[in-house]
């Protein structure tokens, strides 16, 4: 053993991150909430894994003192809006979202002013400042249900996802003014490669998240939020699926249905673009460090928090 190897062996004991995280969780009275798009080792450690709606419901109901959010910024921020007295930690503060980034609050405010007489329904994938100027929040699992409850004479601006917005318009027959935003993961799937996959796997069903482009949704045999897709694969009599959403969800699909085959829908380019680069910023090491150090912590301006809370509460009542 050379000197460097000797020093490493003596000074840097390797940590069993999973056990350390579980011990810290107990010590801090924390709950770990994880989205399905997190890497599988984080999903396996979490107290609860869910889609955006289920995670906000869990965050609203938790009795833990600390919420450790293994997801992206807008999700942890929503947990903080619902729990101002609790500490909310996010392993990497840079874990953003292309939808949230593509809809700055001052620009949405200007859009509202240019189109008076509209109510604003915002997809939960947006900043607290955008929520604060919205009338109702929705997620991919309750969007159709929420729009259906809005009186027919009310004009609607829908932000920030144009693909989800277009899908809701088709399902409900309601006209809406759409903000021109999209998810960098769900807009990446290649129609041409999916057709090729369908030819090679004739029994496979194409299932898609409503954030996908219209051409993919038109071809899909089932459309739903991440939880709805998971439930569909578990309950379906089919044994093969082409999955057009972030591929992290396949971990739970495979766990629930080990005998079934799940094929990630391929992106247009030769890249791993069906992995969300923001979600994947969180790692087991960062999860451990954020719990050990008690940061990065989500903080919010109290005025914005109170304004953002109203449309979230309305969503929870309406869904
Ligand atoms: P859901 O969790 O509502 O399925 O949304 C997926 C997503 O893209 C979250 O960022
Ligand atoms: Fe945002 Fe898309 Fe990533 Fe979800 S998958 S966090 S919508 S960029």
Q: Does one domain contain both 180 and 308?
A: yes
At residue 69's C-alpha, the angle toward residues 278 and 159, to 5°, is 55
What pLDDT is recorded for position 2?
54
Residue 12 forms part of a structural domain: no
Q: Is 122 exposed, middle or buried (0-12, 13-18, 19+ CB in 10 A)?
A: buried
In the numeric block, the tokens 């999700």 are attached to 75
Q: How far apart are CA 121 and CA 105, in angstroms?
A: 14
Owning domain of residue 63: 17-96+280-299
Angle between helices 302-318 and 52-61 (to 10 degrees): 110
Residue 133 forms part of a structural domain: yes
Residue 1 forms part of a structural domain: no
Q: Does one domain contain both 248 and 310?
A: no
What tokens appear for 135 in the block? 């009338």
User: With a 6 A CB cut-off, is 182 part of the ligand 1 pocket?
Assistant: no
Residue 137 forms part of a structural domain: yes
Write the residue with the smallest CA distance to atom 6 of ligand 2: 97
Q: Does one domain contain both 260 and 285?
A: no
87-89 and 66-70 as β-strands: parallel, antiparallel, unpaired?
A: parallel
What pLDDT is recorded for position 244?
98
What is the DSSP secondary structure assignment for residue 38, as one 8-state letter? S
Model confidence over 264-315: pLDDT tens digits? 999 988 888 899 999 999 999 999 999 999 999 999 999 999 999 999 999 9
Residue 8 forms part of a structural domain: no
Q: Does one domain contain both 128 and 267?
A: no
User: With a 6 A CB cut-off, is 229 part of the ligand 2 pocket?
Assistant: no
State which ligand 1 atom lies nearest to the alpha carbon of 74.
10
User: With a 6 A CB cut-off, is 69 part of the ligand 2 pocket?
Assistant: no
Q: Does one domain contain both 198 and 270?
A: yes
User: With a 6 A CB cut-off, is 141 part of the ligand 1 pocket?
Assistant: yes
What pLDDT is recorded for position 7?
47
What pLDDT is recorded for position 272?
86
What pLDDT is recorded for position 13?
59
Q: Does one domain contain both 168 and 309?
A: yes
Q: Does one domain contain both 39 and 65?
A: yes
Domain harbouring 239, CATH code: 3.40.50.10800
Residue 6 forms part of a structural domain: no
Q: Is 160 exposed, middle or buried (0-12, 13-18, 19+ CB in 10 A)?
A: buried
Cα separation of the two ends of the chain: 62
Q: Does one domain contain both 116 and 161?
A: yes
Domain count, the chain: 3
In the numeric block, the tokens 């109290």 are attached to 302
Of 242, 240, 182, the residue nearest 208 (C-alpha): 242
User: With a 6 A CB cut-off, is 49 part of the ligand 2 pocket?
Assistant: no
Please choose from 95, 226, 274, 277 the residue to mutate so as to test ligand 1's pocket, defined by most ligand atoms within 8 A of CB.
226
Residue 141 forms part of a structural domain: yes
Q: Does one domain contain both 169 and 243?
A: no
Low-confidence ranges of the chain (pLDDT < 50): 4, 6-12
Q: How far apart are CA 253 and CA 259, in angstroms?
A: 10
Q: How far apart are CA 172 and CA 157, in angstroms?
A: 15
Q: Does one domain contain both 254 and 288?
A: no
């Amino acid at each position: 053993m050379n000197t460097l190897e000797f020093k490493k062996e003596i000074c840097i004991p390797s940590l069993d991150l999973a056990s350390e995280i579980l011990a810290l969780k107990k010590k801090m009275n924390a709950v770990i909430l994880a989205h399905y798009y997190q890497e599988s080792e984080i999903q396996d450690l979490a107290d609860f894994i869910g889609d955006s709606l289920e995670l906000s419901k869990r965050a609203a109901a938790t009795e833990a003192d600390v919420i450790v959010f293994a997801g992206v910024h807008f999700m942890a921020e929503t947990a903080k809006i619902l729990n101002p007295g609790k500490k909310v930690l996010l392993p990497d503060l840079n874990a953003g979202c292309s939808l949230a980034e593509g809809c700055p609050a001052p620009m949405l405010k200007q859009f509202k002013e240019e189109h008076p007489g509209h109510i604003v329904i915002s997809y939960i994938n947006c900043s607290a400042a955008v929520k604060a100027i919205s009338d109702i929040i929705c997620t991919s699992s309750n969007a159709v249900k929420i729009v259906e409850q809005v009186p027919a004479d009310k004009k609607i601006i829908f932000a920030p996802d144009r693909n989800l917005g277009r899908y809701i318009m088709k399902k409900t027959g309601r006209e809406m003014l759409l903000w021109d935003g999209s998810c960098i993961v769900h807009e990446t799937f290649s129609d041409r490669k999916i057709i090729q996959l369908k030819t090679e796997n004739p029994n496979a069903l194409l299932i898609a998240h409503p954030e996908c482009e219209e051409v993919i949704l038109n071809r899909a045999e089932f459309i739903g939020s991440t939880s709805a897709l998971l439930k569909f694969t578990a309950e379906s009599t089919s044994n093969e699926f082409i999955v057009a959403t972030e591929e992290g969800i396949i971990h739970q699909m495979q766990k629930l249905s080990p005998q079934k085959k799940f094929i990630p829908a391929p992106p247009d380019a030769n890249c791993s673009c069906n992995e969300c680069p923001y979600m994947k910023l969180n790692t087991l090491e960062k999860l451990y460090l954020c719990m050990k150090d008690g940061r990065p912590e989500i903080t919010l301006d109290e005025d914005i928090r109170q304004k953002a809370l109203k449309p979230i509460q309305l969503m929870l009542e309406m869904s």
